[in-house]
Structure 1
């Protein structure tokens, strides 16, 4: 049943994908009206899928959900909805909706769930590690969406073409606040991961691909925040740097499939 609910959620997310694909070329009034409610319903069904997976596993651990991509997609759409409540704009959805759809598609078409192979699976620290890191990733996704949207809107204004009708200042603020929100979660998640590695292996192997790339991603993240806070970077320069942070995060995520001690495998 969890897989069924996940595929129902994917169906609703398809509406958001169509909205995103058409938004940059032409306006579709029907999609504009139904995209947000459809994504909301998809979020609900995905929550049902995740909850049922946890209940069927017999214990409360994030590693037992259908797979990690589903959880990350869910957190991303939740974060988008929270931002919508404050700013009343669906414009970041042009980037976020396809990301959520892609993550859910990967989860919904998988035959078996992905599990962590770490011996520290039952530790409370692992629950904290996954929840914190994924929340940080969700915030990064929204920041990337706002940054990309800023560049698109800026180009539209300069060419005097119809834009996305969201003020550049609002888009910039969404991107900045998303970065501020995500950084402490990412930092605490990495600390929790360090505790797990230390207690499980007796040491932290900083040369491991996943750990090395995660630290690099965190460093780039820190540079981005410093550039915005102290150097006063705004607009296009901040958007480019935020995109760089997102790329670094994606590379660090991909390392989960190649790391020797921190990886996903099919059960």
Structure 2
């Protein structure tokens, strides 16, 4: 629990440092909070490694999967910030990662087992896809808030904390592209490596994941052919992400926490 406490503390400290730096408009060169975030991420990862070594293999029960997605989101946010993009995401993402980690630690492991490299590859691709597309959903919400404020001529102080509208939109679609590729690889490895991919307890997960893939694909095609942007892009991103959350965490919640099936 010491690792969990330290990681959570560093996450919250990093979020506070991000907020403080943004308030004085000094996001560039944010070395202090980046180091703090890296420490939190490393401790977060260490927690999972130690848990897996203590168990029989990779643990991907509901809370563990949620924690790993939070870890992925924190890592992506830190990478974005290191490249000079959207360090403001850390204000939301780092506390979320801390909560996910605490939830996993308090819940305890329940389904650690050896999966084999094929299923592990499928699982890791899925977690990376969810983390990447969750970041895209956050960017979409920020884009919607920014556009709404500008349309209403409400020039709030927080608008200065975001990049220009075109830069934010460009970052959103680059993130969606990355997540779409990962989601495509997830579905492909699922078809190839999961023998009961269309079994009764997985059919709703498979269908919802495929629907999410179709919505993201339609959005990217519409962006390429018709220049879709703004409110349409935001709506489709959030709809696709909602389908993905229902596909993975919705099904795991029902099966593992309600029906007690692993």
TM-score of the aligned structures, taking structure 2 as reference length: 0.80
- Match status 1:11 vs 2:4: no
Greater helix proportion:
2
Q: Which among 74, 77, 82 is matched to residue 77 of structure 1?
A: 74
Deviation at 1:34, TM superposition (A): 5.4
Q: Is the 8 A contact 1:62 1:127 kept in 2?
A: no
Equivalents in 2 of 1:206, 1:180: separation in Å?
29
Q: Which among 21, 29, 36 is matched to residue 38 of structure 1?
A: 36
How large is the Cα RMSD of the aligned pairs?
A: 3.5
Deviation at 1:68, TM superposition (A): 1.7
Equivalents in 2 of 1:264, 1:166: separation in Å?
45
Q: Is the 8 A contact 1:115 1:264 kept in 2?
A: no
Gaps of 5+ in 1: none
Equivalents in 2 of 1:65, 1:241: separation in Å?
26
- Match status 1:122 vs 2:93: no
- The change in CA–CA distance for 1:213 and 1:19 in structure 2 (over 3 A counts) is farther
Equivalents in 2 of 1:8, 1:43: separation in Å?
10
**Partner residue, 2:137:** 144
- Match status 1:257 vs 2:253: yes
Equivalents in 2 of 1:229, 1:54: separation in Å?
43
Deviation at 1:54, TM superposition (A): 3.1
TM-score of the aligned structures, taking structure 1 as reference length: 0.78
Moved more, 162-171 or 34-43: 34-43
- Match status 1:27 vs 2:23: yes
Q: Which among 96, 99, 112 is matched to residue 99 of structure 1?
A: 96
Deviation at 1:129, TM superposition (A): 0.9
- The change in CA–CA distance for 1:246 and 1:14 in structure 2 (over 3 A counts) is same
The alignment partner of 1:215 has SS state of helix
Equivalents in 2 of 1:228, 1:154: separation in Å?
18
Equivalent residues, number: 253
Equivalents in 2 of 1:210, 1:58: separation in Å?
26
Q: Deviations over 1:94-118 (max 9, x none)?
A: 44334323322321322x214278x
Equivalents in 1 of 2:24, 2:245: separation in Å?
31
